[in-house]
Amino acid sequence: MDLQTLTYLVVGATFALYIGIAIWARAGTTGEFYAAGRGVHPVTNGMATAADWMSAASFISMAGLIAFVGYDNSTFLMGWTGGYVLLAMLLAPYLRKFGKFTVPEFIGDRFYSPTARFVAVVCLIVASLTYVIGQMTGVGVAFSRFLNVRADVGLFIGAAIVFAYAVLGGMKGITYTQVAQYCVLILAYTIPAIFISLQLTGAAFPQIGLFSNTLADGIPLLTKLNEVIGDLGFASYTGHHSNTLNMVLFTLSLMIGTAGLPHVIIRFFTVPKVADARWSAGWALVFIALLYTVAPAVGAMARLNLVDTIQIGEVGSPEGNLAYDDRPDWFKNWETTGLLTFEDKNGDGRIQYYNDASQSFATKAEEFGWKGNELDVNRDILVLANPEIAQLPNWVIALVAAGGLAAALSTAAGLLLAISSAVSHDLIKGAYNPNISEKGELLAARISMAVAIGVATYLGLNPPGFAAQTVALAFGLAAASIFPALMMGIFVKRINNKGAVAGMLSGLIFTIVYIFWYKGWLFIPGTNFAPDTPDAWVFGISPLSIGSVGAILNFAVAYFVSNATEEPPEEIQQLVESIRIPRGAGAATGH
């Protein structure tokens, strides 16, 4: 069976499964729509949480970023994994014990302020919408290649699928759909990695293959990769080349942003007891580790395979470059998407792939008559293209297509639910119409989600970067606004409503302004200032890393404003104490 037909069958079968589960698990009440009736088993919730967590950024983009940068981009792995540990230990059990449906509801009650709840909704929507743009970008990338449609058409198809099962099923439908999506994405990620690890090193486990010798020449895989890309003027794959301060702040931003992302936090509201929240967090870590420990191997092996495909002879020599007319089928397939492009700058008909910004390689390139790098590879395609580059069976390639879509759709659904819950439960019911009926609130939640899907699709047509980079901006926004409010709300009795509101606003505004300025979105065209470069950043801190500074500002402002104003009411201070005392789910508020 040809690849295209097989891909349609595999992807179509998974989509039918997702929609079928949504129909079976259709939400009939607001409790089922927001929290799946609080009846999800910890193992099931752990698997659903893992799928919710491992988005298009994890599946499609993270290994691609590691592949093209190497050690420095291991910050994505360290930040996201470490942040999940913070979430599991410091936030999830206590928020579940509080017994509410949404993060803004907790903030509003803890800080006894409708204003605090409203500000939390704004922070949630800004962070979640930024995050979901990255997921829709991943959907477009996957569809554009494997269903032979334009990326914008792929976005619309993906949005329709999410609409079908998320709007219909709510949290109940999303939970069981995400269990199925986890099974699809983990198989799609690990099976090709095992095949390629066996091809290159003979090791069945990619985690071991990364540190094994290659079968071709018997030298360590990472050593060979360093040599190959070094011969093309690229920096050492295993070396540290970036600003250490920026690297630390970026990792911290990802960590605390992870712990502040509402779409992950609300998953812990679906289990029956506080103890189940802890267990589901542990199971989620196990399921997440199955992919995250494989990602570095996928990145390294994909980069090596890419270079070996382009270099048919001695690396870094004119005769070693592949003739464009002899390019393989996978190259042609990805060219049609516009995500891989070739420009014959010196007119020799061969593909010059090298680092044309390297001073050490410039002299050699000039001697060869090269006019600059001629191959542009979008980093988001590498995981999806990897099985084709390695010439794996068609069924493996089709499975990867289904896995990439599952990863993007699962997280998109969770994010959209967080947004719709904030609008319907926190804004409409919490502020504007407290007496709304349950049926009316459920309808409002579904309409809110439909609108959010439309907005996310529109913004996904013009994303501000690669999927993982766009997601990193969302983590920075969550780190600067939501995480400090949650931490202080649980562990610091003295923080009052004025301090919480001032902290959230200062952290969010500071981070947004820094991101918009240094990403060039507030820049006036026609001048020579290039803001999104390390030389222009303050102390070398990139827009992706600034969320950790915004979080520090949030903590500081909240602390000083709270201590300069009145103490919280006594009942609120007792509430904070009761949240941390293990008396069972909902004991703090009677829910």
> Rounded CA gap, 457 and 155, in Å?
6
Q: How far is CA 2 from CA 8, 142, 270, 286, 331, in A?
A: 10, 18, 42, 36, 17
HEC per residue, 562-573: HHHCCCCCHHHH
Any domain includes 10 = yes
What is the chain's Cα-based Rg? Answer: 24
**Contact assessment for residue 447 and residue 414, using Cβ atoms and an 8 Å cutoff:** no
Question: Looking at the domain assignment, is residue 242 inside a domain?
Answer: yes
356 within some domain: no
pLDDT at 97: 79
Close Cβ partners of 157 (under 8 Å, ≥ 6 residues apart): 139, 143, 147, 149
The domain containing residue 457 runs over which residues? 3-302+388-484
pLDDT for 226: 92
Give 161-198 pLDDT, tens digit per residue: 777 766 766 777 778 888 888 898 899 999 999 999 99
3-state secondary structure of 213: strand
Q: What is the pLDDT of residue 28?
A: 66
Pairing assessment for the beta strands 375-377 and 340-342 based on DSSP bridges: antiparallel
Q: Does residue 415 lie within any of the structural domains?
A: yes
Asked if residue 552 is part of any domain, the answer here is no
- The closest of 199, 579, 144, 116 to 385, measured between CA atoms, is 144
Residue 364 lies in a domain: no
Q: Among 244-253, 384-393, 577-586, which stretch is predicted with the lowest mean pLDDT? A: 577-586
CATH number of the domain residue 58 falls in: 1.20.1730.10
| Rounded-to-10 torsion of CA 530, 379, 58, 307 | -130
Name the band, by pLDDT with cuts 50, 70 and 90, for residue 495: very high
What DSSP designation does 237 have?
T
Query: What value does the mean pLDDT of the chain take?
Result: 83
Pinpoint the alpha helices (H) of 369-496. 382-389, 394-421, 438-460, 467-491
User: Positive or negative, the Cα torsion across 520, 58, 283, 402?
Assistant: positive
pLDDT for res 521: 64
Lowest mean pLDDT among 17-21, 134-138, 181-185, 310-314: 134-138
The closest alpha carbon to 512, from 543, 466, 471, 542, belongs to 543
585 pLDDT band, cuts 50/70/90, is: very low
Q: Does residue 323 fall inside a structural domain?
A: no
* Cross-strand bridge partners of residue 341: 376
- Quick one: tokens of 455? 């907005």
pLDDT at res. 324:
92
pLDDT top residue among 103 and 525? 103
- Give CA–CA dist 140/138, Å, rounded: 5
**Within a domain: 44:** yes
How many CA atoms are closer than 13 Å to the CA of 346, on its beta-carbon side? Answer: 18
The 10s digit of each residue's pLDDT in 353-402 is 888 888 878 888 888 888 889 999 888 788 888 898 888 988 888 888 88
Q: What is the dihedral of CA 391, 393, 394, 397, to 10 degrees?
A: -70
3-state helix, strand, coil in the chain (%, to 5): 70, 0, 25
Region 514-536: mean pLDDT is 66
Work out how many domains the chain is built from and give that number: 1
Q: Model pTM?
A: 0.81
**If pLDDT is split at 50, 70 and 90, which confidence band does 469 have?**
low
- For 460, residues 6+ apart whose C-beta sits below 8 A from its C-beta are 132, 133, 135, 136, 137, 139, 140, 155
Structure tokens at 15: 């989509």
Q: What is the pLDDT of residue 102?
A: 78
Does residue 413 contact residue 174 with C-beta atoms inside 8 Å?
Answer: yes
Q: Which of the 8 DSSP states describes residue 2? A: -
CA angle 402, 403, 407 (to 5 degrees): 120
CB 277 within 8 A of CB 92: yes
Whether residue 100 has pLDDT greater than 90: no
